[in-house]
Amino acid sequence: MPTTEISIPDLAALPAAAAQLKNLLVDHSIVAFEGEMGAGKTTFIKALCADLGVPESEVSSPTFSLVNEYRDAQNQPIYHFDFYRLDDPSEAVAMGALEYFDSGYLCLLEWPSRVEALLPPDYLLITLTVTGPESRILQVKVGN
């Protein structure tokens, strides 16, 4: 799949961008979100989860828990990871990350570069780039 760009001019455009990304998830259960601190990774994940049927109030950053579990509209699990606080990929292995990745359920990863060695080759990489106070560009491509 070639790189796809999704423009988000402001916060009001998040639902439409999330719906666009949802259409690209068909063949990917591992979705990695890269972007600088404050780029909006968690905010975008909230919008994506809302589009998948998760109440927005249930979605929060798993900064300290490392992983949160949500249920989509079909009552299927969605796993949301935040690997920012990890010092080594072995910490992700110890918490069972590989079992989550192999589950076939949707896994949304923040700070995936901290566990890059553990990722399958066909994961979906989303890079968020800040282009203004509320505007972002999402670049979507397969793998690293």
Residue 143 reports pLDDT greater than 70: no
- Number of Cβ atoms within 10 Å of the Cβ of 3: 10
Instruction: Report pLDDT digits (tens) over 27-70.
Output: 899 999 999 998 999 999 999 999 999 987 889 888 778 999 99
Task: Copy the structure tokens of residue 8.
Answer: 């988000």
Give the mean model confidence (pLDDT) for residues 77-82.
96
Round to whole Å and give the CA distance between 30 and 125. Answer: 9
Yes or no: is domain 4-142 CATH 1.20.120.140? no
Q: Which residues lie closer than 8 Å to 42 by C-beta, 6 or more apart?
A: 59, 60, 61, 82, 110
**Which pTM was predicted?**
0.93
Domain borders along the chain are 4-142
Q: What are phi and psi of 41, to 5 degrees?
A: -60, -50
